[in-house]
A and B are shown apart, each in its own frame.
Chain A
């Protein structure tokens, strides 16, 4: 078996290009969903959706980020086990992030948690690595805004709470969030696993294409039910009242311990941004 060598420099360059691309305009699937929502709204809610459509156009033309919160840099690496990366992986990712946020004129929002001293270059990134089959590296870059991140939650439910308890927890998260996470939102949901793995699954579920159907028929149905229940709260775009608070719910499930029923909800605003590539 041959081992393929990939330099840290090429990894850094890929991360750089992905963030330069991802930070400027929300994903096409989200923009399409927002346009669909606009046709169903009236009054102030329709006005903000009109502004968002115009905003995306301006961002594309001017290369100004559509949202000033260009986020904390979340990076997922699926590393083929037949790849040998020459150099420091973490440093390569941070170097790509550092250069992208500098050259893209993106906001540097990362600081020390307690002292609140800005690191000045939006590093460190949050890095999730997985070893997979093959000799390629798949990279996902997600600049994640924190207005919506602040509304996210993990619940360690009791097994007796069941599906209904899980749904109630998720709807309650949306009810408490109200206008804060910049709706229309996309919700990533992780059910099962452990405390941290449920949150990991929830965040990673945001990478799925908005409008795509869950491969698991039961989860697909749950996603529809949850979206309808959340939209029935009537908060609408920006919380100004209307039918479109939630564009999509994406659920991922994993086995858990017999004593628990973890559920995590990851909020993302309408500026859902990500890009990926393979090297």
Chain B
């Protein structure tokens, strides 16, 4: 299934855990330190450096771009470290996140409430994922280096729907052999 951003609320609600999809459009990288800062700004009532409305966040801290390249290797990081912040971001307009590994029940509840989807990128496939990135620009917290927020234009980013808006979790399908 080919998804084009931005996704409508209906499109998000139609996604099902386990769907193999590709994503094309604008996403924002944000990981541990950027999440802490964004939530601190929300709490302080400060304007955010980019609009969260409909945003898809990518839990990723890329390698530096070599000469002539748009970005370095850029696979996902473990999502559960963002669990403390994710519900706040969904409440402030975010539509989804891309990461790897399980997410907490509070995050799933926020996704159900506000209409968010959790997408899985393949951990350790950083070179493959970098090929899908057509442009990258730091839009916030440049001093955080790899953890700065980058606006990425991606084409056909290969993903799997991890948790859908009904709360269905693809990881729950793994069964003892």
Q: Give the B-binding residues of A (Cβ under 8 A).
A: 43-44, 47-48, 51-52, 54-56, 58-59, 62-70, 105-109, 116, 118, 120, 145, 147, 150, 178-180, 182, 231-236, 238-243, 269-271
Contacts and interface: CB of A to CB of B under 8 A. Distances in A.
B78 A107 contact: no
B45 interface: no
28 contacts: A48-B122, A51-B128, A51-B158, A54-B125, A55-B124, A55-B125, A58-B127, A58-B131, A64-B72, A64-B73, A65-B63, A66-B73, A66-B124, A118-B145, A145-B124, A147-B78, A147-B100, A147-B123, A179-B100, A180-B80, A182-B123, A182-B124, A233-B174, A238-B100, A238-B122, A239-B102, A241-B173, A270-B124
Contact of B101 (A52, A63, A180): A180
Interface in B96-141: 100-102, 120, 122-128, 130-131
A107 B64 contact: yes
B71 to A, nearest CB: 9
A238 B120 contact: yes
Interface in B160-177: 160, 170-171, 173-177
Given A44-B160, A150-B78, A68 B175 contact: no
Interface residues of B, number: 42
A137 B53 CA distance: 57
A234 B80 contact: no
A108 to B, nearest CB: 7
Contact of A68 (B126, B170, B176, B177): B126
Closest 7 CB pairs of A and B: A182-B123, A241-B174, A55-B128, A59-B127, A68-B73, A68-B126, A55-B125
Contacts of B63: 64-65, 68, 70, 105-107
B16 to A, nearest CB: 12
A52 B176 contact: no
Contacts of A147: 77-78, 100, 123
